[in-house]
Amino acid sequence: MDTLGYLGQGFGVALSPYNLVTALCGTLIGTVVGLLPGLGPINGVALLIPIAFALGLPPESALILLAAVYLGCEYGGRISSILLNIPGEASTVMTTLDGYPMARKGLAGVALSLSAWSSFIGAFIATCGMVLFAPLLAKWAIAFGPAEYFVLMVFAIVCLGGMAGDRPLKTFIAALIGLFLSTVGIDANSGVYRFTGDNIHLTDGIQFVVLVLGLFSISEILLLLEKTHRGQEAVKATGRMMFNFKEASSVFVVNIRCGLLGFIMGVLPGAGATLASAVAYMTEKRIAGANGTFGQGDMRGLAAPETAIGGAACGALVPMLTLGVPGSGTTAVMIGALSLYNITPGPLLFQQQPDIVWGLIASLFVANIMLVILNIPMIRIFTRILAVPNWALVPVIAIITGIGVYAVHATTFDLFLMIGIGIFGYILRKLDFPLSPVLLGFILGGLMEQNLRRALSISNGALEILWSSPITFGVWVLTAIMLLMPILRIWRKRSVARRVIADV
């Protein structure tokens, strides 16, 4: 029952007026950022890091702010999916399938509030799961030595590729690019300057805010140039704004099922909200079978992906808090933020900084409730924001991105570096490389190298330490399974294709 006591303490932190205001600001900023094209949760969170730091927020408030922004972004993404049929992020693609038809039927307000409600249930289930499992996992994780950590990170990277589906190779290459970029700068153990090319600004390594904003904001700005025309009108959200009891109860079972699914998928490294929403939608479509009107505005089709996204977004925080291994691009950014405050997430965080961990968990509850309440009066204002044209928006995004980067070190070198990384990111995107593995690799790279070197120092250079303990061995087996997954999938696809040819 320690957990409940800690949770109560966490609510004490989260419900202090200062942190409540922080969470409210975070959800508002997050929603707007999620709404706008070209800004997603990753750049939203990254942009706020230097600002939170400059404002002198204490670490727990800063983390609450970032978590609120994260949830708000997920929420804002759905507004543009439902009203415009344009998914704000990759994860909300599934929401458009049934959300937009519902809006066309004149149920825009209902669709929005129902999706907020679903997402709330998903997040609620996941947060409960987090309360139950995170301390257990943290306790277990204390048994992890450097060798175990190294193997776990290898697993996380491989998971990314294994889950990515049709392009495992590109995902691996992207992750390796990130891992390599993390080695730039002075080596902490030996003092050797690596890959700096005698540039004084690179001694510290590449600042991760610079990398994130370059990769995601600048490349997005360039991508938006290709689509300057803006054809679609937003569906007006008129009429009934709130779902009624009957509608809510008709999707309740779906909510529970998809919430659990989302949580599990969120905890797994690499899977994340995008995959969770897709799997949830497909599963519910199959369960509903013939009596569903999926694709034409079925409420279950709206509730399923939304619940899963809510669950996965919170679930992704579990590996981040307990193991210090991020499960998604956004949580990777949050780890970067924590390291600015000299806080290393991991099992010890639960013992040394319970205020931060439990305050964050409690504030997730608070932020979720805020989002549901915000939805009703604010939706008209949010739809107004959707009407801002790109020509006014993009230069402002570019300028704010510049401010965010400049705020870290106050050097223009970082601005140039960001543009360079942005162009590289744009090329990667055009060639169909996923970008968030670069980010995950970058965050994991430093940890991975440190743990590898520490492990081998313990064993005095003998490589056996990397697979001799039962934990490491088990994780290696899982890694091997993950590596085989894409190969198996390709092989099966080929044999199906061959059978089709044979049948013809």
Which residues of this chain interact with other proteins, rule CB under 8 A? 50-51, 54-56, 166-167, 169-170, 172-173, 176-177, 179-180, 183, 187, 189-192, 194-195, 218, 221-222, 224-229, 389-392, 394-396, 398-400, 402-403, 406-407, 410, 412, 415-416, 418-419, 422-423, 426-427, 430-432, 445, 448-449, 452-453, 456-457, 460-461
Q: State how far the Cα of 157 lies from the Cα of 447, in Å rounded to an integer.
A: 13
Per-residue CA distances from 187 to 204, 339, 460 (Å) = 9, 17, 20
Q: Are 214 and 422 in contact (CB under 8 A)?
A: yes
Q: Which is nearer to other proteins, 21 or 169 (CB)?
A: 169
Which structure tokens are listed for 291? 């009596």
| Start-to-end CA span in the chain (Å) | 64
Identify which of residues 57 and 126 has a Cβ nearer to other proteins in the complex: 57
Of 298 and 414, the one with the shorter C-beta distance to other proteins is 414
Q: Which is nearer to other proteins, 140 or 180 (CB)?
A: 180
In angstroms, what is the minimal distance from the CB of 114 to other proteins?
26
Rounded Cα distance between 287 and 282, Å, is 9
Which residue shows structure tokens 């360039």?
Answer: 222
Query: Is the Cβ of residue 1 or residue 410 nearer to other proteins in the bound state?
Result: 410
- In angstroms, what is the minimal distance from the CB of 418 to other proteins? 8
Q: Which H or E run contains 185?
A: strand 185-186
CB of 230 to other proteins, least distance (A): 8
In the complex, least distance from residue 123 CB atom to other proteins, rounded to whole angstroms: 29
Nearest approach, Cβ of residue 52 and other proteins (Å)? 10
Q: With respect to other proteins, which residue has the nearer C-beta, 249 or 460?
A: 460
- Residue 242 or residue 423: which is nearer to other proteins going by CB? 423
Q: What whole-number distance in Å separates Cα of residue 162 and Cα of residue 147? A: 22
Q: Closer CB to other proteins, residue 332 or residue 452? A: 452
CA 114, 38, 409: angle at the middle one, nearest 5? 120
Shortest Cβ 153–other proteins spacing (Å): 12
Minimum distance between the CB of residue 72 and other proteins, rounded to whole angstroms?
19
Q: Which is nearer to other proteins, 56 or 470 (CB)?
A: 56
- Residue environment code for 456-471, b if the CB has 16+ CB neighbours within 10 A, otherwise e: beeeeeeeebbeebeb
Q: What is the largest CA-CA distance in the chain?
A: 71
- Closest CB 169 distance from other proteins, rounded Å: 6
- Give every CB contact of residue 407 below 8 A, 6+ residues apart in sequence: 50, 51, 53, 54
Minimum CB distance to other proteins, residue 190 (Å): 3
Strand partners, 185: 194
Query: What letter would DSSP give residue 105?
Result: I
Q: Which residues are within 8 A (CB) of 326 and not within 5 positions of it... i.e. 6 or more apart?
A: 156, 269, 316, 319, 320, 332, 334, 335, 440, 443, 444
Distance CA 420, CA 403 (A): 17
Residues paired with 193 in a beta bridge: 186
What's the min distance (Å) between Cβ of 458 and other proteins?
Answer: 10
Cβ-based nearer residue to other proteins, 85 or 255: 85
- Of 366, 407, 374, the residue nearest 64 (C-alpha): 366
- Cβ neighbours, 10 Å, residue 106: 15
